[in-house]
Amino acid sequence: MSHKVRVTKEFDFEIAHALWNYDGHCRNLHGHSYRLFVTVIGQPSQNPHDPKNGMVIDFGELKNIVQGEVVDPLDHAVILNTAAVDDKLENISQMFDKLFIVDYQPTCENLVVDFSRRISKRLPAGVTLHSLKLHETASSFAEWYASDNQQG
């Protein structure tokens, strides 16, 4: 008898951003210490000859996927909405080594959607992304669930 099991790994990283055309303090460049919880779901291997027997995914493999797609590229990066970039910012890359111009407002909600796409494409067969929880502060977070985003 096989059972589906959820496996979660936690990641910490820093990102700076500014919210284009926002009507509050976050319109200014500032940073957050993000905490990301990545939960995948699948059936643990039941093959006694499989070195990953009993696992949905090796925690090390999940770490490599999330590090490669999210943490390494974005840790200590600056993320700005493309709407904010104009000729006044043409030399901004001289100030920041890791500058990402994205086609969305870099809110916690939009970042977690972006992360879901990045992570999902790298998961091995039989393992799917179940949910993401992205803390922007200790008391504020956004969540993404696959079940809320299934195409019908």
Active site residues per annotation:
26, 76, 136
Provide CB contacts within 8 A for 104, sequence distance 6+. Answer: 81, 110, 114
Tell me, what amino acid is at 45? S
Alpha helices in 19-138 (DSSP H): 59-66, 72-74, 108-120
Q: Report which of 60, 45, 63 is spatially closest to residue 5, judged by C-alpha positions.
A: 45
Q: Are 109 and 135 within 8 A, CB to CB? A: no
Helix (H) or strand (E) run with residue 14 in it: strand 5-17
Q: What share of the chain is helix, strand, coil (3-state, %, to 5)?
A: 30, 35, 40
